[in-house]
Structure 1
């Protein structure tokens, strides 16, 4: 279950391996690369490269290479003008044979901060300018379910994010930088644990505590309930069947548009002034991998 990304970069689902694909608009400090996948029981190694071009021979800003070779380790490196630089070998293995993983590569001012399954792993210092990154490459013993670029190189409104929260505990509450604007999209990536019953997503006007948009996926009922609360009073509910509670929420001048797996699910017309919305709240039976504005 995944979310549609803002214009500029669309998530890649279940790519064939080896994979090489462009990152339109590039990346910048503050962006993150989110990868969900799994490794087989008989894994030997796999590679993830952030390339400064769109071919195998391009410079490599980041080479991420877990190796199961009896001395399990993860090798980091860069390549410039066809020559590899010195390797950084981290003799810890954050991946487990036969199991799924979530990898986040956070692009900071100091380097590439890697996180595996929500835990910091290693900060690899920049050796090439991140502004040169144009593609991502994956090869080796790995299956990939999702590749997503969070906060890419396009200006605001065209895919550049203003805020990213990674592996947040629930209940979760955050301010929306700059408030809601037309064409702003909120992207939430997560999973529903076994036995989950319901969860809630609220867009809130903090000044009045009005809930401009309340979305309540009820897993066992198979419905997504929508509503709004003004002056302490809930309005009439809207319902629609849905097998997947995760989605992106895009703000328009007249309505919120909600998407699941890139497919339009429903519209919810504004019942209060959307420009006053400045807070997102999430609670219930849900595990959040990231939230992106």
Structure 2
């Protein structure tokens, strides 16, 4: 069981540094870039760049550069034709050596909106057209855990899908994830899944488990209050991840066996749930986690996602 990301969701897990991710079709309003890692204990600086290319001389539409030495600040800037623009400086918090961080850079029509650990950090007005951004680069004093480009590539997506010879990423018969992700929604979270759980539909849930968490759950349900075809329930005190169904008001038999448990207190998680013809396929950080055989057939009527309990959501995407 291999993990194939659906078009519009392009993750990389634990990549080596320096890291370069291509952004096919450029960045457009509604898209976002997600970077998650740990600042090195003796960090001097690191950077996240939104660049016009992978080379060293590429223009930088956004240069996010936390500096931990004597400067003690995070610098935002751009670079065009080899010339740096005026610096936009910000306090380093919440970036701290030795601690995990989560950066979400959302593209708006006028600026990049930057959130760090779920809170507003800063905005950086566009100095270069965002659609010219073709690469995300990350390097410096950090342990990089995940980088994801969220969104379907704006108005160029239909053209790209018609060009399989030139864009191998789109060699996929998976449904395209074109709508913008929901970033840092409150919990409890309830959302309607457009089109419902058709075969090969992928749902992505990424979040953070607080140090004092006891349990939370993710439900795939046939409408509000309807049958639960998949109940995924990490129980932190017990160290288990329960899977079950609730059909006709009656719970079925629990399943708990896993090759590993990705849900740990004080850590981020990245979960992908794909609806297959005969089972749900669950991946964590791009690795197979478990299957859950359908106890009732899915379909367009299974159209509700619920998340509740001791969890802080980073984004939800489908």
Where in structure 2 are the equivalents of 1:123-272 lying within 5 Å?
A: 123-153=123-153, 154=157, 157=174, 160-194=177-211, 196-206=213-223, 209-241=226-258, 242-245=260-263, 247-264=271-288, 265-269=290-294, 271-272=296-297
In the TM superposition, residue 280 of structure 1 has moved relative to its aligned partner by 0.9
Choose from 282, 290, 293 the match for 2:315.
290
Q: Hey, what does 2:301 align to over in structure 1?
A: 276
Structure 1 pair 267/109, CA: closer, same or farther in 2 (3 Å)? same
SS of the equivalent of 1:11 reads strand
| Counterpart check, 1:6 vs 2:14 | no
Structure 1 pair 258/140, CA: closer, same or farther in 2 (3 Å)? closer
In the TM superposition, residue 275 of structure 1 has moved relative to its aligned partner by 0.7
Report Cα offsets for 1:32-86 as digits up to 9, x if no partner: 11111222344332221111122111221211122335443322222233333x2
- Confirm or deny: 8 A CA contact 2:175 2:201 kept in the other structure: no
Q: Hey, what does 1:89 align to over in structure 2?
A: 88
* 5+ long unaligned stretches in structure 1: none
Cα separation, 2, equivalents of 1:171 and 1:208:
14
TM-score, with normalisation over the residues of structure 1? Answer: 0.85
Aligned positions, number: 290
Structure 1 pair 40/239, CA: closer, same or farther in 2 (3 Å)? closer
TM-score, with normalisation over the residues of structure 2? Answer: 0.79
- Confirm or deny: 8 A CA contact 1:26 1:152 kept in the other structure: no
Greater shift in the superposed pair: 122-131 or 170-179: 170-179
SS of the equivalent of 2:131 reads helix
Cα separation, 1, equivalents of 2:293 and 2:68:
49
Report Cα offsets for 1:127-177 as digits up to 9, x if no partner: 222222221112232221211122242569565342422233332222224
* 5+ long unaligned stretches in structure 2: 162-173, 264-268
